Structure formats: C-alpha cells, structure tokens
Amino acid sequence: MPENTHNSARAFQELVRVLEEAVRAGVDSVGLEYKGRDLMVFHQAGPLGLGAGRIPQELQQDVVAELVKRAGLSRKPRGKMQGTLLGKDYEAIVEEYDSFGESAFNLTLKERKKKAGG
C-alpha cells in the first residue's frame, strides 16, 4: 500500500506539472493521447494543437489512473476535477475518448473566480 500511495502522489504531481505548463503557455485545453508507447501531452488553443511533451513512461499508467479517479471517470466518459494551479483555483472538465483503441483525454481548464464579498 505505501508504494501505491507513493505512485499516486507522484502521478498527481506530474498531472499538476502538465496543467501548470498549460496555464503558463496560455492555453485552455490539454490533450493526453498515446502515440506508440508514449503518453503525449498536447496544448490546445481553439482548433490548434501543439505537442508539448510526454509523461515519463514509469508514470503513464499511474497518471491515467489518477486522472480517472480524480475526475470520476470510472463509469462515465466525462467528469470534473478542481485544483490550484500557480496560486489560482481552476476547474478541469475531463473527457475520455477512444483513440485507435486506447483511452485518450481532453482536459479543458477554467479559472474559478472568487465570488464578491465571499
């Protein structure tokens, strides 16, 4: 169990790193898709998608499992997760889809504005 918890924490850190890179790049959407044996990260701005890197091979399965768990995708193809990226609160709408027989994901980021007076 401790190893599993450690893998989960590392996977979550990798997911946060990927999302923070997207925020820094000014994009509103991130794609995760397998290309061969690599889980690739794509930054998407409107219809334009640019390769932004890859998830380290030893973390790929754990990152996917963490994403499925945190967004509640175990029984449905769409979910949400919330978190803090670069000091601001964000919500990510996560969609899982099939890409050539493998799971792929699209994460759409939205900054959560604080309510006035709250």
Domains and CATH numbers, the chain: 2-111 (3.30.450.90)
Give the per-residue pLDDT at 50: 84
pTM (predicted TM-score): 0.87
**Whole-number pLDDT of residue 38:** 93
pLDDT in tens, the chain (118 residues): 445 677 899 999 999 999 999 999 999 899 999 998 999 999 988 777 888 899 999 999 999 999 999 999 988 999 999 999 999 999 999 999 999 899 999 999 999 987 655 4
Classify 37 as helix, strand or coil. coil
Looking at residue 49, its pLDDT comes to: 80
- At residue 1, the pLDDT reads 40
Give the residue from 70, 91, 73 showing the smallest Cα distance to 14: 70
What are the Cα distances from residue 9, in Å, to 6, 40, 43, 107, 114? 5, 20, 23, 20, 28
